[in-house]
Structure 1
Amino acid sequence: MVRAVLSDVDDQEHRAAAARSVAVAALAETGVDGLADVAVDLSLRLASALERIAADQGLAAVDLAEVWFVDYGPD
């Protein structure tokens, strides 16, 4: 799913559609439990990546996540 979102195309809608397509396929192939497993796996991988980046920058991972994932509200 991550590879579907990572692309040279600078189009948020394209990236979202690609990720949604992968999620729909995962749901169709593995059901709700399989899709939940994908969500958990992605969350754990993201947390691990944030921890590595934060450590390299001398920050706490939760502080880095707070900066990276600020919710600015509706566009």
Structure 2
Amino acid sequence: VILTYVGERVLKADIITGSHVGHEVLIRRIVLLHDGTKLPFTLRRRQFPIRLCYAMTINKSQGQSLKKVLLYLPKPVFAHE
């Protein structure tokens, strides 16, 4: 899939492989609950169910390396303990 829109609550993507090529899909945020701690409350987090990836076979990647890569992260994405 290729993301075409990134919003607060939804992602819009186009499918580029498989039997659904050309279809547009919406991906909503999901709620993750964790109550396995000894805290008097349940931890709740919302996130998109996606994983960032980039893959290309060695034969196709020759001469196609990227000189610059830009990531737009308007909000912090890493947590440090």
TM more than 0.5? no
Point out the structure with the larger strand share: 2
Output the TM-score relative to the length of structure 1.
0.28
Q: Which has the larger radius of gyration?
A: 2
Point out the structure with the larger helix share: 1
